[in-house]
Amino acid sequence: MPERAIGVFDSGVGGLTVLKEMLRLLPGEELVYLGDTARVPYGTKSPHTVLRYAVEAASFLVDQRVKMLVVACNTASSVSLKALEERFNLPVVGVIEPGARKAVTLTRNGRVGVIGTEGTVASAAYTRAIHALAPDVEVYSAACPLFVPLAEEGWAEHPVAHLAAKEYLAPLVERGIDTLVLGCTHYPLLKNTLRQVLGEGITLVDSAEETSRSVAEMLACRDLPRPNPPGQTRFFVTDIPTRFVRVGGSFLGCPLDSVSQVSID
């Protein structure tokens, strides 16, 4: 079982921010990444639809005989974790709880901001996860839908991104948050812009980084680390790979060589 790969899925290219952190922290592991590029975005879809997509993506990975599932997509994590745990007899790590945990440890004034897709914000999954750990922390959320296309366009530090960030974040800044959870796969690419807009007083929580730490912890506590490093990574997508290869290379910071197209529905 420890020899097996870890399965990671996302709605598309964004989950590569999580994969990148996993490659850094767990270079000995085999990884299988699935981007559901035929049906992206998940962030504007209903919970019912996202849950169905998540089950189909996870089923594909389970068929690859993975030892663990990582739901890299915040929108999918916010609606599907319990269902995936119940359906597949495997450890499942999502991105919500790790980010929530870090935010609770970092906040000094008990006011935490969360940004994500419309679906993630509407689900209130981060709010629930934070309140489960620290009921008194005040959570203020904002959907930032333009950040996803800006990151994919390579405009994460463009003046347009600054303008959008100012508009989206103003209500959270007004509430006096001292910690901001980047609750979407794409947002780590906007860190510089967000830091400039927010200034030094607000700490950013990168869910991708926190998730890779949780994966490492889960592997260790289940005795699952792979004994024979180094590991390899295989990539699958549900639409033609052209765009995934182009945009994904910049998300991952290295070229994506072998990407296969599959059908999962």
Q: Which residues bind ligand DGL (CB under 6 A)?
A: 10-11, 14, 40-43, 73-75, 117, 120, 148, 184-186
**Nearer residue to ligand DGL within complex by CB, 84 or 224:** 84
Compute the least distance from the CB of residue 100 to ligand DGL, in Å.
Answer: 15
Q: Which one is catalytic: 73, 144, 221, 254? A: 73
Nearer to ligand DGL, 40 or 164 (CB): 40
* Sign of the dihedral defined by the CA atoms of residues 191, 196, 197, 202, in that order: positive
Distance CA 262, CA 86 (A): 25
What DSSP assignment string belongs to 171-190?
HHHHTT-SEEEEESTTGGGG
**Min. distance of Cβ 199 from ligand DGL in angstroms?**
25
Dist. CA 227–CA 39, nearest whole Å:
36
By three-state DSSP, how is residue 92 classified? strand
Q: Which contiguous run of DSSP H or E holds residue 70?
A: strand 68-71
- Least distance (Å) between residue 222 CB and ligand DGL: 25
Query: How do beta strands 31-35 and 233-237 pair?
Result: parallel
Closest C-alpha among 2, 28, 15, 83 to residue 256:
15
DSSP-derived secondary structure letter, 73: -
Residue among 44 and 59 whose Cβ is closer to ligand DGL: 44
Q: How far is the CB of 232 from ligand DGL (least distance, A)?
A: 24
Catalytic (active site) residue 73: yes
Q: Is there a catalytic annotation at residue 184?
A: yes
Residue 42 vs 140, nearer CB to ligand DGL: 42
Residue among 236, 255, 239 nearest 247 (CA): 255
Token reading at 96: 């919500």
Pick the catalytic residue from 144, 184, 221, 254: 184
User: Which residues are the active-site residues?
Assistant: 73, 184
